[in-house]
Structure 1
Amino acid sequence: MSGLVPGHIVEGSLVPFPLAHAVRRTSKTVRLVAGGTCLAAVVGGTVAFTALDKDVTVDADGQRTQASAFGGTVADVLENQGISVGEHDIVAPAADTEITDGQTIVVRYGRQLTLTVDGETKTYWTTAQTVDAALADLDVRADGAKLSASRSEPLGRQGLALDVTTPKAVTLVADGQTRQVTSTAADVNALLAENGVTVREGDELSHAGADRLVAGATVTVVRVDRSTSTEQVPLAHGSRTERTDALFQGEKKVVTAGVDGSKTVTYADVFRDGVRAEHTATGEVVDVAPVEEVVQVGTKAKPKPVVAAAPAAPVASGGGGGGSVGGGADGLNWSALAACESGGNPSIVSASGKYHGLYQFSVQTWRAVGGSGLPSQASAGEQTYRAKLLYQRAGAGQWPVCGKKL
C-alpha cells in the first residue's frame, strides 16, 4: 500500500476487470451470488483502507497541520506535505521513524545568526525563533547590553545579523572633570556623544574616535587653544675699543656712551587645558636701536718720573727734638712719649718683632710717613721727625696707651 496516495483509490485495485465482466453474462442467481461476492470485497477493502490510514500532526515552527498517511516514515509524511529539511534543521522524531496514528511530527528550521559582540563576530545556527531566545540558547550574557534589534524581534529563516554591545566601565577626563561611567557605546565617539562632550577641531583625544570602547579604558580630551602675544625685550648695547696715541698707555676714555635698545617679539602660544605649553617666537621688530659704546685706549709711552731727593731728617737723641714739621706737633713732649713706649731706647724691638724704636713704629706705618729700612735702625732724630709727621696725619690715637703723655 505504500504506493497509495491518501484519499485516492487506484483504478482496478479492488475489483479485477475479468470478474466484473463475468457478472454481466450470468443468470440472476449467479448475478446475486456475484453481487454478494463483490459487495463483500468492497466492504473488506474499506475496512483495510481505514486500518491503514493514520492521522498525524505536523508542527513546523509552530504552524500545526493535520495530515493523513497510509503508513510510511516521518520523512514520507514531510515529503507529502512539501516540507524539506536541511542539515541545520531539527526533526522529531527522526526522519526514518515509522509513523503511528495520532503522532505529532515537530520540525524546527535552523536560522543563521551572525553575532557581533563588542566587535568580535561569529556565525551560529539556531532553531530559536526570537532574538532573545537565540541569545539564551547561545548563552550570551546580554544583561544591560545594547542590541541592534529588539529582543522580541522574530528570527526569520533568512537569518539575522545582530550587534551586541555590553556595558563597560570606563574613565572619561574632559573639561577639568574626571568621571567614572558605565557605557554601552560602541566606540569613543559614541561615548563622548552620550556624555555631552564635544571635541573641537584642534583638540587632542587620547583615542581615535572610531576606536572600539574597551572596559577599563581612560578616554581623555585635552582642550587646545592657540593665540599670539608680544613682549618688549631689551637689546644690550655692544662695546668697541679704539687705540689712540692721544692717551698715555694704561689710560682709557669713553668717547661714546653705550645705550641699550629694545625690540618687540611676537610669539605663537599654545594652551593645553588652559596652561601655556608652547611659546614660540615667530617674528620681531626693533623699536629702539642700541648705541654702541666706544672706548679709547692710550698707546703713548709715559715719560720717566723725576725722583726728588728726600730731605735729610734732623738728628736728635733720647726722643726729644727732631726736625721741625710746623704746627703744634713741634711743641709736644716727645721725650715723654718715647719713655712710655720704649723706655727711650731708639733701637728696641718688641718681643713679637712687629714694633720698632722709640715710638714703636710698625714697618708699614714707618714707610707710610716716608721712612726706609727698619725704624729701629734709624736715628732717634729721624724717628722723632717721622713720629711728628704721623701725629699730623692721625693724632695721638696712634699711641692708644701712651699718647696722653704728649
Structure 2
Amino acid sequence: AHRRRPRCADRADSVRRLLPQALVVAFLAGGTAAFVAEDKAVRLDVDGRTRTLHTFADDVTGLLAEEGVRIGPHDAVTPAPGTGLGHGDRVEVRHARPLVLTLDGRRTRVWTTADTVEGALRQLGVRAEGAYLSTSRSRRIGREGLTLDVRTERSVTVMADGRARTIRTNAATVREAVAQAGIGLRGQDTTSVAPDSFPRDGQTVTVLRITDGQEVRDEPIPFRELRVEDRTLPRGTEVVERPGRPGVRRVTYALRTVNGVRQKPRRLRDEVVREPRPQQVRVGTAPA
C-alpha cells in the first residue's frame, strides 16, 4: 500500500528551497540600500553659478576633483576643503582675482574674491565714500583681474595770504587741492611741499608768494702794491711814485621775496669792468 508522506516533511523541503532565494533577495536589497545611501544630492556654487549634483564624494575635496574645479591659494571655499559631505549640503567656491590697486598714491597688488569693484573695495576695507575711482563701482572683475586707481577723500588745510582754508578733497596733487581751495598760483608762486606730490589726510600746505628780481652792483677790486728799492733815498723813506687805483667788478645778484620777506641775494654772474692798477712805491735803502 502507498504510504502518505507527513506534512511536516513537506514544509521542511519548502523552507529549504526558499531559503537560498530569500538570501539572494536580502543581499540585493541591502546592496541597493547601500548604493542609495552613498549617493548624495549637493549644491555647488562656483562664482555665482549654482548646480545641483549627485555625487559619491565623501568630502568637499573629492567633490571639487570630480567636477574639475581647480582651487588656488587665494581662492575661497566654503566649507573648507576636506570637510565631509552630507545629503543637501551646499559648497561655495569663489575664485580670487588679481587687483593692481593704487590707493592714495601707493601701488600694490592684492587679491579679491569679489566680482565687482564695489565688492572688492568693501572686502579690502577701502573707504569709498567721496572717493575718486578710475572706473565705475558696478564694473565686474573678471578672472584676469583689474587695474584700479582709488583716491579717498581727505582733509587738507591750505594757508595762503594770511588765511587758512580747510577742504575735503580727493585731489591727486597738492596743486589740484590748492586750486580746489580757490587759491591761484601766479608766476613763481609755489607751495611748502612739492606741488605735484600727493596730498595726505590732515596735511597743511602753505602757499609761498614769490617775487623774483635782479640787482647789479659795482664792487671794487683791491689793487696790489709794488715796492721797489731805491738807493738814492735814505733808509726808512718811502715814496709813492704812482698811486694805485682799484678795479671795478660788476656783479649781478638774483633777488627773491617770499611772502613779503626778502631772502639772501644769490650771486648769478660777474664781470671785470676795469682792472686794478698796482701802486708803485720806492723804498729807500741808502744809509742815513
Q: Work out which of the residue numbers 41, 44, 57 in structure 2 matches 1:55.
A: 41
Size of the aligned set, in residue pairs, is: 204
AA matched with 2:204: A
* Separation in structure 2 between the aligned mates of residue 130 and residue 180 of structure 1, nearest angstrom: 34
Structure with the larger strand share: 2
- 1:161–1:95 distance in 2 versus 1, CA, 3 Å: same
AA matched with 1:75: T
Name the structure 2 match of 1:100: 86
- 1:222–1:274 distance in 2 versus 1, CA, 3 Å: closer
Q: Work out which of the residue numbers 219, 230, 247 in structure 1 matches 2:206.
A: 219
* Separation in structure 2 between the aligned mates of residue 165 and residue 178 of structure 1, nearest angstrom: 23
* Separation in structure 1 between the aligned mates of residue 259 and residue 158 of structure 2, nearest angstrom: 18
Q: Work out which of the residue numbers 116, 135, 146 in structure 1 matches 2:121.
A: 135
Structure with the larger helix share: 1
- 1:89–1:269 distance in 2 versus 1, CA, 3 Å: closer
AA matched with 2:156: V
TM-score, normalised to structure 1, is: 0.40
Cα drift, residue 147 of structure 1: 3.2
- 1:102–1:169 distance in 2 versus 1, CA, 3 Å: closer
Q: Tell me, what secondary structure is at the counterpart of 2:150?
A: strand
* Separation in structure 2 between the aligned mates of residue 276 and residue 64 of structure 1, nearest angstrom: 72
Name the structure 2 match of 1:76: 62
Name the structure 1 match of 2:153: 167
Q: Tell me, what secondary structure is at the counterpart of 1:55?
A: strand
Q: Tell me, what secondary structure is at the counterpart of 1:217?
A: strand
Cα drift, residue 121 of structure 1: 4.1
Cα drift, residue 150 of structure 1: 3.3
Name the structure 2 match of 1:379: none
- 1:95–1:271 distance in 2 versus 1, CA, 3 Å: closer
Cα drift, residue 184 of structure 1: 1.8
TM-score, normalised to structure 2, is: 0.54
* Separation in structure 2 between the aligned mates of residue 181 and residue 202 of structure 1, nearest angstrom: 24
AA matched with 1:170: V
Name the structure 2 match of 1:187: 173
- 1:91–1:205 distance in 2 versus 1, CA, 3 Å: closer
Structure having greater relative contact order (Cα 8 Å, sep ≥ 6): 2
**Larger-Rg structure:** 1
Provide the identity percentage. 37
Check the 8 A contact 2:102/2:108 in 1, yes or no: yes
* Separation in structure 2 between the aligned mates of residue 167 and residue 156 of structure 1, nearest angstrom: 27
* Separation in structure 2 between the aligned mates of residue 161 and residue 48 of structure 1, nearest angstrom: 53
Alignment gaps of 5+ in structure 2: 1-20, 216-251, 266-288
* Separation in structure 1 between the aligned mates of residue 37 and residue 164 of structure 2, nearest angstrom: 81
Check the 8 A contact 1:188/1:211 in 2, yes or no: yes
* Separation in structure 1 between the aligned mates of residue 173 and residue 205 of structure 2, nearest angstrom: 13
Name the structure 2 match of 1:203: 189
RMSD, aligned α-carbons: 4.2
